[in-house]
């Protein structure tokens, strides 16, 4: 195995880990938005914040591997620096914006006076959904650049398509979370007793 093939392997593996973390984040986000108790919201918020165990190594692998590939084979190529820039944007958006909002949510849940309505009002804002969709779109674009290695104009078109797909996916996740919150309790039962059940 050459150094190039080893770096490329870990670079691709890191990209796969990034998508796994994004999928897990979406699933956890659904459970937080559909929480029916403070305890459930606390549990899934802690799980949300522990995704750094996957995110940090994946970003390190993508950035370090990408910088090596760029130094060796990126001269005159648009796609390698573009993919690295997109990775940095994902790191900044996820670490600063989403990280700050989840830290604020954790602080709110740590208070004994926290109410479920206040927590859901915080997590149901548009910023969580928009920035999550933005990161999905950029991750798709990175994957496209790694495989297609296109020039500027096709890459910009692919970026637009990726962002649209990411935002649509995030919007569908929000709708799914709201549907679950309205129809189900934490473990899949009805949120309210049926009319046939005694009160």
pLDDT digits (tens, 9 = 90+) for 178-199: 676 665 544 444 444 434 444 3
* Lowest mean per-residue pLDDT among 67-81, 101-115, 131-145: 67-81
d(CA 128, CA 110): 20
pLDDT band at 56 (very low <50, low <70, confident <90, very high): very high
Q: Does pLDDT of 11 surpass 80?
A: yes
Mean pLDDT rounded to a whole number for the chain: 82
pLDDT band at 58 (very low <50, low <70, confident <90, very high): very high
* Residue of 164 and 150 predicted with greater confidence: 164
Would you state the pLDDT for residue 186? 44
Q: Does pLDDT of 20 surpass 90?
A: yes
User: 């969709």: which residue's tokens?
Assistant: 133
Give, in order, the Cα–Cα distances in Å from 81 to each of 8, 17, 40. 16, 20, 42
Residue 60 resides in a domain: yes
Q: And the tokens for 153?
A: 């104009």
Residue 18 resides in a domain: yes
DSSP-based three-state secondary structure for 11: helix
Per-residue pLDDT reduced to its tens digit, 165-177: 988 888 888 777 7
What is the tally of structural domains in the chain? 1
- Most confident option among 25-39, 47-61, 70-84: 47-61
CB 88 within 8 A of CB 44: no
Residue 189 resides in a domain: no
Residue 195 resides in a domain: no
Percent of the chain predicted with pLDDT > 90: 18
Cα dihedral sign, 134-29-16-164: negative
Main-chain phi, psi angles of 196, to 5 degrees = -80, -15
User: 């559909």: which residue's tokens?
Assistant: 34
CB proximity list for 108: less than 8 A, separation 6 or greater = 114, 118, 119, 122
CB 116 within 8 A of CB 37: yes
pTM: 0.80
Residue 193 resides in a domain: no
- Report the alpha-carbon angle 163-164-168, nearest 5: 115
Mean pLDDT of 60-73: 84
- Most confident option among 131-140, 145-154, 176-185: 131-140
Residue 188 resides in a domain: no
d(CA 143, CA 120): 33
Residue 190 resides in a domain: no
Range of the domain at 67: 3-183
d(CA 156, CA 141): 9
Residue 191 resides in a domain: no
Q: Does pLDDT of 46 surpass 50?
A: yes
CB 131 within 8 A of CB 100: no
Cα dihedral sign, 38-180-52-162: negative
């Amino acid at each position: 195995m050459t150094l190039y093939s080893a770096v490329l392997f870990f670079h691709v593996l890191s990209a796969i880990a990034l998508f796994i973390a994004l999928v897990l984040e979406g699933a956890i986000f659904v459970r937080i938005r559909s929480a029916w108790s403070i305890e459930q919201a606390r549990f899934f918020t802690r799980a949300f914040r522990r995704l750094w165990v996957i995110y940090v190594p994946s970003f390190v692998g993508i950035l370090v591997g990408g910088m090596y590939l760029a130094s060796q084979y990126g001269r005159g190529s648009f796609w390698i620096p573009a993919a690295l820039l997109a990775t940095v944007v994902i790191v900044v958006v996820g670490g600063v914006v989403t990280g700050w909002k989840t830290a604020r949510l954790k602080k709110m849940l740590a208070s004994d006076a926290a109410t479920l309505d206040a927590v859901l009002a915080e997590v149901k804002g548009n910023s969580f959904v928009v920035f999550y969709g933005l990161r999905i779109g950029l991750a798709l674009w990175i994957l496209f650049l790694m495989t297609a290695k296109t020039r500027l104009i096709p890459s910009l078109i692919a970026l637009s398509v990726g962002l649209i797909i990411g935002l649509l996916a995030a919007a569908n996740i929000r709708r799914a979370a709201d549907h679950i919150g309205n129809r189900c309790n934490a473990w899949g039962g009805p949120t309210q007793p049926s009319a046939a059940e005694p009160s």
